[in-house]
């Protein structure tokens, strides 16, 4: 049995296998062909943070596969009142076939997984957001940008940046990152990525200016400056991220045909300008839709491993 807590635990072949499965499932979905890959299965979904895309895509996804979702807000279950995670894991394992959790520390996912006898999927932690990066990569492949891919990530060294590091270092493409001082990516994640890159041939470059990072890139991406749980740091962060907005001037440094991706929610006038967002809305909303298809693929893939 496998869990899906981070891309770190998956090799290139497995990631590409899931992407290829996602493409097939997307084609079937577009033809309104809903194959009952998971008939009679139940997916428990624990949310300790807010969500629009993750919640809707998992709920719709498991239903399209013939299964049933259970939305479990931590505000409404005993976990939120202090029931240990390891007990929650053992109870849910007796009643459902798969669990998804959106939480704070990555160690909460690891703790749950340790006691779970059903596959666990990360729906985001402070450290990683692997489902998002699978959706991003599917969007990139659909445009043929997986060949000669050069991605520039501008902004906070957060869960999204860490997941880009894992994706690039596993698959072997070039990733440039530029973050403001004090908001750099986690050193351990970076060192892991450098190690994986030795095998895959990925080029991972930390840049000193956003313009240097974006120069010649064909995918430009960013994320909110204020992640969930950081609301009290808002004013300081807005000051510290000055000069990191992805606007038309910044996009001018990229390749002419470059696409812009954003995991959403997006905050116009902060990490991205309204002009750049709207100009690239086609790929951004494909990216959002692709959450549905990759997550269906992940659930089917994990279910097959059992």
- Give me the residues that bind ligand CP (CB under 6 A), please: 51-54, 124, 132, 263-264
Closest CA to 29 of 290, 223, 256: 290
Kindly state the smallest distance separating residue 37's Cβ from ligand NVA, in Å. 26
Q: Which does 159 bind (CB under 5 to 8 A by kind): ligand CP, ligand NVA, none?
A: ligand NVA
Closest approach, Cβ 192 to ligand NVA, in A, equals: 19
Strand partners, 178: 154
- Cα separation, 229 vs 233, whole angstroms: 9
Would you say 131 and 298 are in contact if contact means Cβ atoms under 8 Å apart? yes
52 binds, among ligand CP, ligand NVA, none (CB under 5 to 8 A by kind): ligand CP
Closer to ligand NVA by CB, 170 or 291: give it: 291
Name every residue whose Cβ is closer than 8 Å to that of residue 100 and which is 6 or more positions away in sequence.
43, 44, 45, 46, 54, 58, 120, 121, 122, 123
Which of the following is catalytic: 263, 280, 293, 295? 263
223 binds, among ligand CP, ligand NVA, none (CB under 5 to 8 A by kind): ligand NVA
Residue 102 a catalytic site member: yes
Q: Could you tell me the smallest distance in angstroms from the CB atom of residue 123 to ligand CP?
A: 7
Residue 132: active-site member:
yes
In this structure, what is the dihedral angle of CA atoms 283, 284, 288, 289, given to the nearest 10 degrees?
-30
Rounded distance between C-alpha atoms, residue 76 and residue 61, angstroms: 23
Q: Which residue is nearest to ligand NVA (CB)?
A: 227
| Minimum separation from the CB atom of position 5 to ligand CP (A) | 15
Phi-psi domain of 126 (left: phi exceeds 0; alpha: psi -120 through 50; beta: other): alpha
291 is catalytic: yes
CB-nearer residue toward ligand CP: 238 or 264: 264
Q: Is 154 in the site for ligand NVA (CB under 6 A)?
A: no
Q: How many residues bind ligand NVA (CB under 6 A)?
A: 9
Task: Show contacts with ligand NVA in window 3-62 (CB under 6 A).
Answer: none
Interacting residues of 48 by C-beta distance below 8 A, sequence separation 6+: 74, 79, 80, 101, 102, 103, 104, 108
Q: Which is nearer to ligand NVA, 88 or 158 (CB)?
A: 158
Structural contact between residues 125 and 109, judged by C-beta atoms closer than 8 angstroms: yes
Nearer to ligand NVA, 91 or 238 (CB): 238
Residue 175 Cα distances to 152, 204, 253, angstroms: 6, 5, 16
Report the residue number, 45 or 220, with the smaller CB distance to ligand CP: 45
Distance of CA 261 to the CA centre of its chain: 12
Binding flag, residue 151, ligand NVA (CB under 6 A): no
In 3D space, the residue among 125, 199, 123, 127 whose CA is nearest the CA of residue 161 turns out to be 127
Task: State the residue for tokens 């050193």.
Answer: 187
**Contacts (CB under 6 A) with ligand NVA, residues 218-277:** 223-224, 227-228, 263
179 interacts with ligand NVA by CB under 6 A: no
Q: Which does 160 bind (CB under 5 to 8 A by kind): ligand NVA, ligand CP, none?
A: ligand NVA
Cite the active site residues. Answer: 102, 129, 132, 223, 263, 291
Site for ligand NVA, rule CB under 6 A: 124, 158-160, 223-224, 227-228, 263
């Amino acid at each position: 049995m496998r869990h899906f807590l981070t891309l770190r635990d998956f090799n290139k072949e497995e990631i590409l296998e899931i992407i290829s499965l996602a493409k097939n499932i997307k084609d079937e979905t577009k033809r309104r062909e809903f194959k009952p890959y998971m008939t009679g299965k139940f997916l428990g979904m624990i949310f300790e943070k807010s969500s629009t895309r993750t919640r809707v895509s998992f709920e719709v996804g498991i239903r399209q596969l013939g299964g049933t979702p259970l939305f479990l807000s931590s505000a409404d279950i005993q976990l939120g009142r202090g029931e240990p995670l390891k007990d929650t894991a053992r109870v849910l394992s007796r009643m459902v076939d798969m669990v998804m959790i959106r939480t704070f520390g990555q160690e909460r996912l690891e703790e749950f997984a340790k006691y779970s006898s059903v596959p666990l999927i990360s729906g985001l932690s402070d450290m990683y957001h692997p489902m998002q990066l699978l959706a991003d990569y599917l969007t990139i492949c659909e445009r043929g940008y997986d060949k000669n891919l050069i991605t520039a990530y501008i902004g906070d060294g957060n869960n999204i940046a860490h997941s880009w590091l894992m994706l690039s270092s596993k698959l072997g493409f070039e990733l440039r990152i530029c973050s403001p001082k004090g908001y750099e990516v986690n050193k351990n994640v970076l060192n892991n990525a450098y190690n994986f890159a030795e095998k895959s041939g990925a080029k991972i470059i930390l840049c000193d200016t956003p313009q240097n990072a974006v120069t010649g890139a064909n995918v430009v991406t960013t994320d909110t400056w204020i992640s969930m749980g950081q609301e009290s740091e808002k004013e300081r962060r807005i000051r510290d991220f000055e000069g990191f907005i992805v606007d038309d001037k910044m996009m001018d440094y990229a390749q002419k045909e470059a696409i812009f991706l954003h995991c959403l929610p997006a905050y116009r006038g902060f990490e991205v300008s309204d002009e750049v967002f709207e100009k690239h809305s086609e790929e951004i909303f494909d990216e959002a839709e692709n959450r549905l298809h990759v997550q269906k693929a992940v659930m089917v893939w994990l279910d097959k491993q059992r």
